[in-house]
Structure 1
Amino acid sequence: MRAQEQFELVINKSTIYRDDFLDERRRLMGVYSTFPSTDARFTSFAKCINVLNDLCIGYVTLRENVIKRDWWKEKFGLEEESSIKRQISDYEMFLRIAFTHLLFSSVESSIRNFARSVIPTESRNGTVDFYRVYPILLNRLSLAPYIELLRLLSNIRNTIHNNGVFFPSNQENQTIVYNSRTYTFEVGKVLEFVGTQFVLDFVPDIRNLLVKMIESPAISSAGPIRDLASVQQ
């Protein structure tokens, strides 16, 4: 697939997924109309909406400006083909890393908010290491099948700190099976299978997870759940 086609695919998918999040948030706000708009059950969607919107803007900028040689000459005085190609590659990598990190951070912060409400003692009010928080919470909510999704995304996010190389603290290879697919993480090796579209394709699962958490009896019946980093959308 040509680069231009890949850019279009990311733009289209991020737009569709963003709108799906918007629609779902509107529906939930109608169902749980007694909750304030700043409640963590709603801001969990707003944060993901912002990330997807920013990804779309980034790839539109890539398509409309960054891949054009004349733009580099006008804005930065660059004319050498190899330098321009490197800058384009670096910018796309920046978008990929920012998207992966911010998407996961949005999910993690929301799960910590829910943990403070549902499992305050076990999670030490949502402050223990995340790899300890989400399995307890998801088991409590009868959503155990999503544990491997978060484990997969956690591993991908953690490689960002090592420029895409898998270096876990226990120095052991890991194999994760999610939705009947196997993902292998080898110590000291770059995750060749991870790209923007790869991470983007998990967004519908993330949305479904958030919906199921919010609609679970333990969270839907809780009082106000404060989002310590509340955003508006």
Structure 2
Amino acid sequence: MEIIEENKQLIEETERILGIVKTQHDDLIKDYGKEDFRTKFVGLSGNIFHTMLLDFAAVSMTICIPEWWEKHYKRKPSAGDISAVQNHGKFTKHAFLVFYFSKVETMIRKSLNLVSSGFDPTGVQSFKVVYDEYLKELNLETEIPLFDLMRLLRNAVHNNGIFIHPRGRDREITWDSKTYQFKHQQLIDFISTEFLFYIYEEMIHSVNRIVRADRFNSMKSIEDKFH
């Protein structure tokens, strides 16, 4: 099936992303140890890609192989089967965007009190409010458009790829010298496989800039107080 080649690409890209995370994580272990919050921030969010890799690998060794269908169902995969496999790949790519950004959100909420005095990490502020304050306190305001982009993408995935603005407005987000259009009640048309892995890599580097920010570097150790 053609899906086999596509899945190989997904595996290769995920392995590449994991390699970046591993290098960052190993460097943080050397600097702060395994239990430091900065190390966990990169490691726990990066673990999402490990899970994604296992999913792609499992699919490659099972439902992507015609022989698997013949062994388990005594027939070749039908057009409907192949379509379902393709849909699984699309679902997985988009679902893990939600999983990854949600983990980043969790880690930011857990550590905002370290950079913003008096903040309650169990509070219910919108994530937009939270990361705006967080990134400004770390002098990383330039990262805000990337987080805006990821937030709108995550929200759209929850609506089957359709962007819905609570006040019926269109949005434009500019990141890395490129502007992305979000049209109210319209399907987002730029979420390709290449784009997803591009935005994953951008976020991975952004997270690393967060944990390497001057505010955190000035701390000898940071305990993960909220499990």
**TM-score category by the smaller chain?**
0.7 to 0.9
C-alpha separation in 1, matches of 2:86 and 2:14: 20
What residue number does 1:224 align with?
222
What is the one-letter code of the residue matched to 1:14? T
Task: Structure 1 unaligned segments of length 5 or more: list them.
Answer: none
Q: Is the 8 A contact 1:21 1:49 kept in 2?
A: yes
Aligned position for 1:53: 50
User: Could you tell me which residue of structure 1 aligns to residue 207 of structure 2?
Assistant: 210
Partner SS state of residue 224, structure 1: coil
Aligned position for 1:88: 85
1:57-136 matches, within 5 Å, as: 57-76=54-73, 79=76, 81-121=78-118, 123-125=119-121, 127=123, 128-136=125-133
In 2: Cα distance, 1:75 partner to 1:50 partner:
32
Partner SS state of residue 182, structure 1: strand
- 2:167 corresponds to: 170
Instruction: Map 1:30-41 to 2 at 5 A.
Output: 30-33=30-33, 37-41=34-38
Deviation, 1:56, is 1.7
Question: How far, CA to CA, are the matches of 2:59 and 2:35 in structure 1?
Answer: 33
Q: Please give the alpha-carbon distance, in whole angstroms, between the structure 1 residues aligned to 2:46 and 2:138.
A: 24
Paired letter, 1:226:
D
1:120–1:141: structure 2 CA closer, same or farther, 3 Å change rule? same
Instruction: Tell whether the 8 Å contact from 2:3 to 2:64 is kept in structure 1 after alignment.
Output: no
Cα distance in 2 between the residues matched to 1:157 and 1:92 = 17
Tell me the SS of whatever aligns to 1:66.
coil
How many pairs are equivalent?
Answer: 224
Aligned 8 A contact 2:11 2:57 in 1: yes
Q: Distance in 2 between matches of 1:76 and 1:142?
A: 58
Q: TM-score, normalised by structure 1?
A: 0.85
Verify the 8 A CA contact 1:174 1:185 in the aligned structure 2: yes
Change (3 A) 1:193 1:129: same
Q: Which has the higher contact order (CA 8 A, sep 6+)?
A: 1
TM-score normalised by L of structure 2: 0.87
- Shift, 1:183, TM fit: 0.5
Which consecutive segments of 4 or more residues in structure 1 shift more than 6 A?
none
**2: distance between equivalents of 1:196 and 1:48?**
20
Whether contact under 8 Å (2:42, 2:208) holds in the other structure is: no
Partner of 1:201: helix, strand, or coil? helix
**2-structure distance, mates of 1:102, 1:71:** 29
Alpha-carbon distance in structure 2 between the residues aligned to 1:224 and 1:138: 18
The one-letter amino acid paired with 1:151 is D
Q: Deviations over 1:161-204 (max 9, x none)?
A: 21111112222110111001110011111112113432221233
Structure 2 unaligned residues grouped into runs of 5+: none
Q: 2 CA distance for matches of 1:78 and 1:16?
A: 36
